[in-house]
Structure 1
Amino acid sequence: MATPNSALRAVRLGLLMSQDDFARAVREAGARAGQPNDANKRLVQRWEAGTTTAPRPVYARALEAVTGLPIESLGFSAAAAGQVSEDGHGGHDVEASTNGIAPAAAKPQGEPQAAHRNYSGVWLSRYEYFSSGRDSSYSGRHYVVVLQHGNRLTVRSLPGSSDSPLTMDLEVDGHVATGTWTEQTATDGYYRGARYHGAIQLLVEPTGRRMTGKWVGFGKEFDVNTGPWELVFQDASTNKATLETYNRRPGA
């Protein structure tokens, strides 16, 4: 009998999504990446039931974009990649080194060109902002998981690192990363669950271990604010043990 994929189900429920909602999010993630897919409720049911043990690369990439987690953390193993795909045939179209999933221990060798560097891993995100209501500056800190697919980066905060979940979607062009950010503030915090979003542009340092730049976003008084933002590399691994290590408040 198939073993149910409890990890994927737990992640979906954690996102407060029904199976229909989750399938829609997977389709939308594929469309945004220019790689459309046909995810539906029945497919999500097969994933969660364990009937399908290895999603094809187009689905794997969309799943990572939606959840912000590597495919191995969603109950799918790399070893199962050659077994069953969504269409019921063998998974020979899954390539171990080119399926969009960064190897857990992969680390850049020497100083490769920025366009070919792998940024996947755990990073420390830190931004600064001015609170007009409190007349003071503050900083927001999260440990985030960065997953790379080609020149696109999906950035998702680890839930234990902050009460305010953070996401970013970036595109790297040479030494410049440009994209959008969204933060859902804590319901019991100063901003009482308000959702903020905006744009961001970061310069990637030659070492590939730090990105610094500026964010821009709207304020409570119908104004546009900006401030510094940086991402600092912590670990190239995205396996379960590493994510558990960083699933805490920065500095704790």
Structure 2
Amino acid sequence: MTAPNATLRAVRMGMLMSQDDFARAIRDAGQRAGVPNDANKRLVQRWEAGVVITPRPTYARALEVVTGLPISALGFSLAVPHPPTSDDGTGSVNVDPTVIPSQALPSLPRAAAASGANHSGIWLSRYEYHSSGREGTFVGVHHVVVLQHGDRLTVRSLPGSSDSPLTLDLTVDGNVVTGTWVEQTAVDGYYRGARYHGAIQLLVEPTGRRMAGQWVGFGKEMDVNTGPWELVFQEASTNKAAMDRYNRPPTP
């Protein structure tokens, strides 16, 4: 008997994605990385049912990009030696012997990789925004997991760090980081589950331990706002123990 992958299912549902949406995001991530894949709803169902306990490297990389979490934190088994099989083959369990932990997956040969910089790890995200309705400036803080693949950074907040999930998709060019952000506000909060998104540009300090810059996005009254945003490095590990330590609201 196989054990369902409840972790992957919880991550997907936390991202407010159906199985079709999740499969589409996996395909899109592969296309952007130049490594196409054939993810579909049936494959997601097999992952979540525990029929496939170790995804192939092509899917493993795309899963990390979409979720912002290392493959070792998504409920899969890793590095188990078995005869080669395919994700769509028959049998109760499919395992690919070429799959290795995410920390050892080769990076794509892009500019950031060539520079030797690697920003993967756990960071503290902090931004400021003005609320016209409350006539004040407020701060949003999250512990986030940053994963780097070549010159691409995927950033996802740890679920226990805030009731407003945050995602960023960024590109590194030297010490300049540019991309987009999305935040799904808490259903019972002031913004009542509204989804906000916009653009962001950060500069990486010479130490590599802090990124600081500005965000831009629309406000509740559909006006365009901006404000400061920073990411402060906490630790390089993205294993389960490290994420457990930071899966809590940041200390003020």
Class of the TM-score when normalised by the shorter of the 2 chains: 0.7 to 0.9
String of CA shifts for 1:97-132, please: whole Å, max 9, x gaps.
33459xxxxxxxxxx998322211110000011111
Whole-Å Cα distance in 2 between the matches of residues 17 and 219 of structure 1?
A: 24
- State the identity as a percent: 71
- 1:40 is matched by which residue type in structure 2? N
String of CA shifts for 1:121-171, please: whole Å, max 9, x gaps.
110000011111222111100000101111100000111111111100000
**How big is the alpha-carbon RMSD for the aligned residues of Structure 1 and Structure 2?**
2.6
Superposition deviation, residue 251 in structure 1: 0.4
> Which SS does the other structure have where 2:249 is aligned?
coil
Greater CA drift, 13-22 or 62-71: 13-22
In 2 relative to 1, CA 2–204 (structure 1 residues): closer, same or farther, beyond 3 Å? same
Whole-Å Cα distance in 2 between the matches of residues 201 and 17 of structure 1?
A: 27
String of CA shifts for 1:76-99, please: whole Å, max 9, x gaps.
233238765536598465466334
Tell me which residue corresponds to 2:115: 115
Structure 2 residues without counterparts, runs of 5 or longer: none
Whole-Å Cα distance in 1 between the matches of residues 68 and 215 of structure 2?
A: 21
Q: Normalising by structure 1, what TM-score?
A: 0.85
> Which SS does the other structure have where 1:80 is aligned?
coil
Contact residue 3 and residue 50 of structure 2 kept, 8 A: yes
> Which SS does the other structure have where 1:79 is aligned?
coil
1:4-153 alignment, distance < 5 Å: 4-80=4-80, 84-86=85-87, 91=96, 94=99, 97-99=104-106, 115-153=115-153
Contact residue 212 and residue 231 of structure 1 kept, 8 A: yes
1:176-195 alignment, distance < 5 Å: 176-195=176-195
Tell me which residue corresponds to 1:204: 204
- 2:87 is matched by which residue type in structure 1? E
- 2:192 is matched by which residue type in structure 1? R
- 2:28 is matched by which residue type in structure 1? E
- 1:86 is matched by which residue type in structure 2? D
Tell me which residue corresponds to 1:226: 226
Whole-Å Cα distance in 1 between the matches of residues 198 and 88 of structure 2?
A: 39
Contact residue 61 and residue 100 of structure 1 kept, 8 A: no
Q: Normalising by structure 2, what TM-score?
A: 0.85
Whole-Å Cα distance in 1 between the matches of residues 192 and 13 of structure 2?
A: 23
Whole-Å Cα distance in 2 between the matches of residues 206 and 73 of structure 1?
A: 30
In 2 relative to 1, CA 118–45 (structure 1 residues): closer, same or farther, beyond 3 Å? same
In 2 relative to 1, CA 229–50 (structure 1 residues): closer, same or farther, beyond 3 Å? same
In 2 relative to 1, CA 132–148 (structure 1 residues): closer, same or farther, beyond 3 Å? same
Whole-Å Cα distance in 2 between the matches of residues 85 and 213 of structure 1?
A: 44
Greater CA drift, 38-47 or 123-132: 38-47
Greater CA drift, 214-223 or 1-10: 1-10
> Which SS does the other structure have where 1:78 is aligned?
coil
In 2 relative to 1, CA 145–85 (structure 1 residues): closer, same or farther, beyond 3 Å? farther
- 1:51 is matched by which residue type in structure 2? V
Whole-Å Cα distance in 2 between the matches of residues 203 and 128 of structure 1?
A: 17
- 1:117 is matched by which residue type in structure 2? A
